[in-house]
Structure 1
Amino acid sequence: MTIDSQRVDGIDAGDGRTVVVGLSGGVDSSVAALLLKQRGWRVVGVFMKNWEDDDDEEYCSSRQDLIDVMSIADRIGIDVEVVNFAAEYKERVFAEFLREYAAGRTPNPDVLCNSEIKFRAFLEHALALGADKIATGHYAGVRPDPAGSGRVQLLKAEDGSKDQSYFLHRLNQAQLARTLFPLADLYKREVRRIAADAGLHVAVKKDSTGICFIGERPFKEFLMRYLPPQPGEIRALDDDRVVGQHDGLTYHTIGQRKGLHIGGRKDGKGAASGEHEAWFVAAKDIAKNILYVVQGHDHPALQKLAIEVEQLSWVAGEAPHPAWVYTAKTRYRQPDAPCSIERIDPADNARCTLAFAEAQWAVTPGQSAVLYESRVCLGGGVIV
Structure 2
Amino acid sequence: MTDNSNTRVVVGMSGGVDSSVTALLMKEQGYDVVGIFMKNWDDTDENGVCTATEDYKDVAKVADQIGIPYYSVNFEKEYWDRVFEYFLAEYRAGRTPNPDVMCNKEIKFKAFLDYAMDLGADYVATGHYAQVEKDENGVVHMLRGADNNKDQTYFLSQLSQEQLAKVKFPLGNIEKSEVREIAENAGLATAKKKDSTGVCFIGERNFKQFLSNYLPAQKGDMMTLDGEIKGQHDGLMYYTIGQRQGLGIGGGGKSSAPWFVIGKDLSTNTLYVGQGFENPALYADRLDASEIHFTTEEVKPKKFRCTAKFRYRQKDTPVTVRLLENERAEVIFDEAVRAITPGQAVVFYDGDECLGGGLIDHAYKAAKTLQYV
Partner of 1:263: 250
Distance 1:179 1:364, change over 3 A: same
Q: Is the 8 A contact 2:303 2:323 kept in 1?
A: no
Separation in 2, partners of 1:255, 1:58: 33
Residue type at the aligned position of 1:250 = M
Could you list the runs of 5+ residues in structure 2 that have no partner in the other structure? 362-373
SS in 2 for 1:202: coil
Deviations 1:175-212 (A, max 9, x none): 00000000011101111111111111211110000011
Q: Give the direction of change, closer, same or farther, for the CA distance of 1:222–1:338 in structure 2 (3 Å limit).
A: same
Instruction: Give the alignment of 1:202-213 within 5 angstroms.
Output: 202-213=190-201
TM-score (norm 2): 0.94
Q: Tell me the equivalent position of 1:216.
A: 204
Q: SS state of the match for residue 318, structure 2? A: strand
**Of 290, 303, 306, which residue of structure 2 is paired with 1:326?**
306
Report deviation, 1:171: 0.4
Specify the SS of the correspondent of 1:243.
Answer: strand
Cα distance per residue 1:238-268 (max 9 Å; x no partner): x111111011111111101110111128xxx
Give 3-state SS (helix, strand or coil) of 1:257's partner: coil
1:160 aligned partner: 148
Task: Report the CA distance between 1:229 and its aligned residue.
Answer: 1.5
Which amino acid is 1:152 matched to? V
2:43 and 2:50 in contact (8 A); partners too: no
Matched, 1:376 2:360: no
**Which residue matches 2:113?**
123
Q: Retained in 2: the 8 A contact 1:24–1:66?
A: yes
Moved beyond 6 Å, runs of 4+: none
Q: CA deviation at 1:319?
A: 5.6
Does the 8 Å contact 1:308/1:352 carry over to 2? yes
Displacement of 1:150: 2.4
Q: Distance in 1 between matches of 2:19 and 2:157?
A: 20
Q: Is the 8 A contact 1:320 1:378 kept in 2?
A: no
Contact 2:46 2:205 in 1 (8 A): no
Structure 2 SS opposite 1:159? coil
Contact 1:60 1:214 in 2 (8 A): no
What's 2:237 paired with? 250
CA deviation after TM superposition for structure 1 residue 47, in Å: 0.3
Does the Cα contact within 8 Å between 1:60 and 1:215 map onto a contact in 2?
no
1:285 partnered with 2:265: yes
| 1:293-343 residue CA offsets vs partner (Å, 9 max, x unmatched) | 1111111111111111111111013563344421100011111111111x2
Report the Cα offset of residue 149 of structure 1.
Answer: 3.6
Q: In 2 relative to 1, CA 57–241 (structure 1 residues): closer, same or farther, beyond 3 Å? A: closer
Assess if the C-alpha contact under 8 Å between 1:14 and 1:36 holds in 2. no
Q: Distance in 2 between matches of 1:361 and 1:312?
A: 22
Partner of residue 184, structure 1: 172
Of 42-51 and 15-24, deviating more is 15-24
Give distance in 1, aligned partners of 2:180 and 2:267. 50
Residue ranges of structure 1 left out of the alignment (5+ in a row): 7-12, 266-272
Task: Determine whether 1:353 maps to 2:301.
Answer: no
1:109 paired residue number: 99
Structure-1 separation of matches of 2:32 and 2:266: 53
- Measure how far apart 1:55 and its partner are: 6.0
**Are 1:300 and 2:280 an aligned pair?**
yes
Q: Separation in 1 of the partners of 2:143 and 2:330?
A: 23
Letter in 1 for 2:323: I
Q: Report the AA paired with residue 216 of structure 2.
A: P
Amino acid at match of 2:317: A
Alpha carbons of structure 1 residues 59 and 336: separation in structure 2 relative to 1, 3 Å: farther
Q: Report if the CA contact (8 A) 2:132-2:141 is conserved.
A: yes
Partner of 1:312: 292
How many equivalent pairs are there? 361
Among all aligned residue pairs of Structure 1 and Structure 2, give the percentage whose two residues are the same amino acid. Answer: 52
The question of whether the paired residues in 1 share the 8 Å contact of 2:11 and 2:34 is answered with yes
